[in-house]
Amino acid sequence: MHRCAMITAAASGSAALVLSAGAFAPNGWQDVEVAVMHGIPDETVDVHADGDTVLEDLEPGTVSEPISMPAGTSDLRVTEAGAGPDAEAVVEADEVEFHAGSNSTVAAHLDDEGEPVLTPFVNETYELGEDEAQMTVRHVAAAPALDVRTDGEPAAQALTEPEEQVLETAPGTVSFDAVVADTEETVLEPADLELAGGNNTLVYVWGDTEGGGLDVAVQNLDLTP
């Protein structure tokens, strides 16, 4: 199944932010901003860190608002929504590292074999002027290597899961699609993508080419001075 729609920012209030009294207690290290991108099809989930529930009801194809937490390592578990932090995990990872002062996004997604995995990304956050834009393309799908195109021209070529590519560009609207690398086989139909001035637009290609098709989730980072 191919999907075609206007691509808009998926980071929104679709997931409830929950910080219990013990969640991410200060340890003297510089804080980190961490968002979660949910790219596992057909699963509404909660996210737990070190035994504390930090996000609830995160739907597929969305990116949470960022959580402020101390740098260091955390054990992360993603479970079915409402099941609790001790329930069987949809996916989990121990000692995920977050560097002091960084801005990160953890993607819960399918790897190229269709297995759920957690992949942490560190986001580019250097300042951009209003006449500048940046696009970060991330392949987090059960899919082969992809050529990602904007306005029909190659933008990120032979991108494999879980690779990313950061592209310098100009503000404006582009047509965004993807084909299997070195072919014309379309696996993500063209859709309009707004690249705002002064923003790093993070585009996640997620889903499964063998089960439901590919889609995109978008996270915008405002990097204006």
d(CA 37, CA 78) in angstroms, rounded, equals 12
Contact 175, 150 (CB under 8 A): yes
Predicted confidence at residue 25, as pLDDT, reads 36
pTM of the full structure? 0.89
- Closest to 57 in 3D by CA, of 119, 110, 1, 12: 12
Q: Are strands 45-49 and 52-58 parallel, antiparallel or unpaired?
A: antiparallel
**Secondary structure (3-state) at 78:** strand
How far is Cα 159 from Cα 181, in angstroms, rounded to an integer? 8
The Cα–Cα gap between 24 and 34 comes to: 12
Q: How confident is the model at residue 6 (pLDDT cuts 50, 70, 90)?
A: very low
Tens-place pLDDT, residues 116-127: 999 999 999 999
pLDDT, tens digit (0-9, with 9 covering 90-100), for 165-176: 999 999 999 999
Q: pLDDT over 70 for what percent of the chain? A: 87
pLDDT at 12 over 50: no
Cβ 206 vs Cβ 215: under 8 Å: yes
pLDDT digits (tens, 9 = 90+) for 214-225: 999 999 999 999
pLDDT one-digit tens code per residue, 123-146: 999 999 999 999 999 999 999 999
The domain limits of the chain are 16-222
